[in-house]
Each structure stands twice: as C-alpha cells, then as structure tokens.
Structure 1
C-alpha cells in the first residue's frame, strides 16, 4: 500500500472517529458488549463437559470471545456503516476524487477494526488472567486475528451490497449473527460435535480464525495446520471480496 493510500485511510479514520465521538452512546456499545460477554461466557461454557473432549475452558473461551467480537463489533457495524454512508451519498462523493475504491472501504472500516481489535485484546487478557492461561503460540493467534478482520470486513462489504436501506441491514446480517457462531465453533467447539460434522464445519467461514486463536493459547496446531486454516479464511475472504466487487453499489437505488 502506497504512502498516499495510507494518508487517505488515515483521513477517513479521523472523519469516522469524529462522527463516532459525536454520539456519546457509542461508548456504551464499546464498553457494554465486552462486559456482557465476560459475564455470560463462563456460565455458558460451564454447561459443557469440555474436559471430556480434551478441551480447556480458558483457551476455548478466548477463541469464543474473539469470534463473537469479530461478528458483532466488526461485521455488523461495518455493514451498517457502508449502507449508511451510501445512503448519505458519502461514498459517491469520495469516488469523484482520487481515492481508490478499496481505500474508501478500508478507510471507512478502519475505526471499527481498531475498536474490535482493542476489545479482543482486553477481553482475552482478562480471560487469560481469570483462567490462569497464557499464550503459548502467539503468532498463530495474531494470524487468526488478522485473517478474521480481513474476512469479516470483506463479508460486511458483500452483505452491504445486498442491502437497499439502513433498515434492511438488521435482516441481512441475521444469518451471520445467528448461524455463523453455530457452525464456526464459536458457541459450541467442533470437538463436541459428531466427528464427520466437525470435520466438515472446519471449512466454514471463521472456523480457521477460531482454531488459530485457540491454538495461540494451546499450541495445538503445527505449521501445516496453521497454513491450512489461514488459507481457508483467505479463500472465504476472497469470495466475499469478489461478490462485493461485482455487486457493491456506491449510491442509493433510484
């Protein structure tokens, strides 16, 4: 990425930050979601016999928290952002300048990427202390976070392409919000599922991210496993990016 593109992204980040800061209730969203996550996760995970499947609660909850925050704080927020800025004609005006299309989308999403990453770092640190676990394979967790951010941003752009209005965003994001956590091993680790089903769901969107983040605390993946999961995430990200490139609309329908 060129220096010019980075400056343009920085400008878009600052603009989104000012708009975010004007609505002080946004800070409630930033603080409440991680807090509710921390309060509710231990109760939910205690209902499962993780030890019987060779799983430790700490790493599982770290991966679960990362997945939930990527979906709620990044994916759903960026989808709504893209549609709102399109309806306000902001995207159309930006395209009349020198800013490239990928920079417009990446710059617009950059604030929520920063928020989601900050939330994940804080929550995983708290969970690590709560359960007395420490990262053993930090590069795997970092790769999982990066690929998860890329995947969720691309998925948000593809979903925004299907939305006619801001009001339709809630309906359009429902499949990801409710189905994706069930099939990607976020709510229920795949080891708890029947073997064949768990093996198939290893190739679901975001499954690679969950495995990589968990391996950051367990070191359960070797080099081949890490590469495979990164590739799975990137293939899904490429598919969603292709859909966005073909279908994304930069101005409201008339």
Structure 2
C-alpha cells in the first residue's frame, strides 16, 4: 500500500511536468474553461452563483478531457503496458493520474476563490462540502476518463470521443441557473449528471445547504464512483488498440 502511494505520487509529479510542457493541453485545462465561465457570467445577475459553480466545469476539462487524452496516448505508446509490467500497480497508475488532476484542480479552485472575492465580494464560509465535492468529483471524472480512453482508438481521436459527453455536461449543468429554474425535463437530466452534485457542494460552501441536501449530493457522487469503476473494468485497455 505504501509502495503504491509512493508510485502514485511519482506518477502525479511526472504528469504535472508533462502538462507544463504541453502548451495546448495547458490552454485546454487552464484557460478554456474560464472562457466558458466568462460567457455564462454575461447571462446572470448573480456572479457568485456562476463562479461558485465553476469548479464543476473545471473538472470536466482537468480530470476528464485531459485524462482521456493522457490515458489514450500512453496506451498507444505502450507506456501503460510498461508501467503495468513494472513496479506500478493499477491502483498506483490510476491514483497517480487522479492525484495529478487533483493538484491542478485545487490550484484552479484557489484562484477561483480569489477571483470570486475580487469580482463578487464573496468568500466560502464552509469548506467541508467543497472538499468532499472536489475529492469525489476528481475520482468520478478520472475514472470516466479511463473508461472513455478504452473506446478511443487513437490519441488524435481523444479530442472527439468525449465531445458528446462534454456537450451534455456543459449545457445541462446548472451553471447559470438554479435547478428549480430549469425546464422540468432538463432539470431531471441535470440532477443525475455527475457534474451537478459537484457544483451544488461547491455552492454549499458559499450559500450553505441542509445536511439532507448535501447527503443526496454525496450519495449521487458515490453512485457515480461505482458506475465509473464498473465502466473502467468493462472498457479500459492496457494494450494498444491497433494490436
């Protein structure tokens, strides 16, 4: 267990170094979601609502789109196979990817809190639901990324395969409007998306929420962890698809 943890940390450090050298990936992870957030800010009179929900959008890019590309490229280049055949266990490999995504996500959320304070004069009053939502959200989207990499034929296609999921998550998520202000059908869809409980737990840090509401959000994320883990078992591949 200790060895797996050390390997996960080592792999996470490698991921962060590689991300810093890949300017396209860095733009997609750090800048692109903020541009979406800026567009949504133009649609609301409550900037705190949008900014406090932005971590959910950040996760889509940081822990999902980026890791789909990472897993797929490493599989096709035999990196995953070499890691798996060496000292790194599956837990260490997945843990390292998740840990790297978590480090970037924490950095982004801290910047977002500073931005929210400067732009809207608001600071979170309860960090606990934000921490829980962030940890579970990273776990869900990292696992979903691993599963989607299994159905992605090449690194070149890694930008396209997750696109339908990206569109649904971006436009059905309650970023600019509360759930109860959405059309009924869209509200039903939004409530079962993995991005929604992340947003609501993050907002609970600013606006507060009842224990019952937070329990529902946590249970939804735990359900998604289980579903995502099953999808990984079904679709994830260690060997290149062209073999």
Do structure 1's residue 139 and structure 2's residue 138 form an aligned pair?
no
TM-score using structure 1 length: 0.85
Tell me which residue corresponds to 1:102.
91
The answer as to whether partners of 1:147 and 1:233 remain within 8 angstroms in 2 is: yes
The answer as to whether partners of 1:58 and 1:128 remain within 8 angstroms in 2 is: no
Q: SS state of the match for residue 202, structure 1?
A: helix
Written as runs of structure 1 = structure 2, the 5 A alignment for 1:134-173 is: 134-173=123-162
Tell me which residue corresponds to 1:13.
12
Query: How many angstroms does 1:62 deviate by?
Result: 2.4
Query: How many angstroms does 1:183 deviate by?
Result: 2.4
Do structure 1's residue 243 and structure 2's residue 231 form an aligned pair?
yes
Q: SS state of the match for residue 162, structure 2?
A: helix
Tell me which residue corresponds to 1:42.
41
How many pairs does the alignment contain? 242
Tell me which residue corresponds to 1:124.
113
Partners of 1:12 and 1:162 in 2: how far apart?
A: 23
TM-score using structure 2 length: 0.89
Partners of 1:238 and 1:187 in 2: how far apart?
A: 29
The answer for unaligned runs of 5 or more in structure 1 is 47-56
Compared CA separation, residues 26 and 72, structure 1 to 2 (3 A) = closer
Which of 215, 220, 224 lines up with 1:232 in the alignment? Answer: 220
Query: How many angstroms does 1:148 deviate by?
Result: 1.2
Partners of 1:108 and 1:197 in 2: how far apart?
A: 32
Compared CA separation, residues 21 and 62, structure 1 to 2 (3 A) = closer
Greater mean deviation of Cα atoms: 205-214 or 33-42? 33-42
Greater mean deviation of Cα atoms: 115-124 or 198-207? 198-207
Do structure 1's residue 73 and structure 2's residue 72 form an aligned pair?
no
Tell me which residue corresponds to 1:223.
211
Q: SS state of the match for residue 136, structure 1?
A: coil
Query: How many angstroms does 1:26 deviate by?
Result: 5.1
Partners of 1:23 and 1:183 in 2: how far apart?
A: 30
Tell me which residue corresponds to 1:183.
172
The answer for unaligned runs of 5 or more in structure 2 is none
Greater mean deviation of Cα atoms: 222-231 or 109-118? 109-118
Compute the RMSD of aligned alpha carbons: 2.2
Partners of 2:194 and 2:23 in 1: how far apart?
A: 33
Partners of 2:166 and 2:176 in 1: how far apart?
A: 12
Compared CA separation, residues 152 and 30, structure 1 to 2 (3 A) = closer
Partners of 2:97 and 2:71 in 1: how far apart?
A: 8
Written as runs of structure 1 = structure 2, the 5 A alignment for 1:59-70 is: 59-70=48-59
Q: SS state of the match for residue 44, structure 1?
A: coil
Greater mean deviation of Cα atoms: 15-24 or 140-149? 15-24
Q: SS state of the match for residue 172, structure 1?
A: coil
Q: SS state of the match for residue 98, structure 1?
A: coil
Greater mean deviation of Cα atoms: 18-27 or 70-79? 18-27
